Amino acid sequence: MLIPYSRNALGRGQMFGMTTRSLHLREATLTETCYSPELRLPAHTHELPMFVLVVEGSFDESFDRHDRTCGPRRLVYRPAGERHAQRFLRRGAACLTIELPFPMDDERLPASDGRLDLAGLPALTAMRLYDELACPTTETALIVEELTVNLAAIAAQRPTVYERRAPKWLGTAREMIEECSQNSVRLGDIARYIGVHRVHLSRTFGQFHGCGVGEYVRRLRVHAACCELRRTGAPTLTLSTIAAEVGFSDESHMGRAFREVMSCPPTQYRRAAVA
């Protein structure tokens, strides 16, 4: 089957194929799209730069006098306006598209010749974004912002700068994150306040704290929930009430995060804490 040709570039969130879910944020637009077996897409362009993760299936693609085959867990970068055509193979495909703001405020994204190596950590980063699309939470906007600016830095081939010791601004950033952990936190706001690039903030934070800013916020909320669960004076507080008080989307969101961090469900933790 051949999709009819369109002269216009596809806008934000617009994809050929069947969109199964999407998430529109200021930081990025995430779209999961399924493509039928043997589907052929005509040459077309997109208005925004993007990364495309092949979740399952495969397709052949031609672009700017280059050809490539994209299989499962393959991540490719596509600059705005790049004309490309695709032929999906016998199993079809499901893809995650990560559209970036354009123009980005702090990255100069290059044209692509298909040689940008996005195997390994960049592909795992895109898979982490796929997890957020599948189950968005109150931390999703922050996590998406942090992961996409790091992907953009890879596309722009921004070198990694390592600090020999923790800079003073890192303490300020951590205090800001901890003060706002029960509300919305934006990586860009923190970076502007302390006067560093968002990517350098994210990478330095991970260097000295062992996790990204988004994951740190999630763990802070889990430990705040632990404090509430240990309070013997408030054993009647429901889990949904505690989840709302410490910044989770709902009780199930808290339960997933709690099990990941504490290796047990909140109910088990409460029973052990008050025994």
Same domain, 169 and 230: no
Measured distance CA(255)–CA(158) in Å, rounded: 37
Helix-helix angle 239-246:251-262, to 10 degrees: 80
Among 178, 198, 215, where does a domain finish? 215
Same domain, 88 and 25: yes
> For position 70, which CATH number holds?
2.60.120.10
Same domain, 197 and 156: yes
Ramachandran assignment for 40, one of left (phi > 0), alpha (psi -120 to 50 degrees), beta (any other): beta
pLDDT of 107: 57
In a domain? residue 8: no
In a domain? residue 1: no
pLDDT of 185: 84
Same domain, 197 and 227: no
Measured distance CA(8)–CA(47) in Å, rounded: 9
Domains of the chain: total: 3
Among 84, 101, 126, where does a domain finish? 126
Q: Are the CB atoms for 250 and 243 separated by under 8 Å?
A: yes
Among 215, 237, 261, where does a domain finish? 215
> For position 258, which CATH number holds?
1.10.10.60
In a domain? residue 168: yes
Residue with tokens 């025994």: 275
| pLDDT string in tens for the chain (275-residue length) | 545 545 568 999 999 999 999 999 988 999 999 999 999 999 999 999 899 999 999 999 998 888 999 999 999 998 888 899 999 999 999 999 999 886 555 556 655 556 677 888 899 999 999 999 998 988 999 999 999 998 888 877 778 888 999 999 999 999 999 998 888 889 999 999 999 999 999 999 999 999 999 999 999 999 999 999 988 655 678 899 999 999 998 999 999 999 999 999 999 998 888 76
Structure tokens at 154: 């890879």
**Domain encompassing residue 197:** 140-215
Of 88, 93, 162, 156, residue with least CA distance to 122: 156
In a domain? residue 79: yes
pLDDT of 114: 60
User: CA quadruple 254, 256, 261, 266: dihedral positive or negative?
Assistant: positive
pTM: 0.85
For the chain, give me the number of helices (H) and strands (E)?
9, 7
Of 17, 16, 12, 14, residue with least CA distance to 27: 12
pLDDT of 212: 93
Same domain, 51 and 74: yes
Strand partners of residue 56: 94
Residue with tokens 């507080």: 237
Same domain, 86 and 32: yes
Sort strands 84-99 and 40-44 into parallel, antiparallel or unpaired: antiparallel
At 35 the three-state DSSP class reads strand
Q: Are the CB atoms for 76 and 121 separated by under 8 Å?
A: no
Residue 91 identity: R
Residue 134 identity: A
Same domain, 121 and 49: yes
Q: Are the CB atoms for 86 and 69 separated by under 8 Å?
A: no
Structure tokens at 218: 């999630």
Same domain, 47 and 122: yes
Same domain, 201 and 144: yes
Same domain, 262 and 168: no
In a domain? residue 135: no
In a domain? residue 11: no
pLDDT of 156: 77
Same domain, 35 and 122: yes
Same domain, 27 and 93: yes
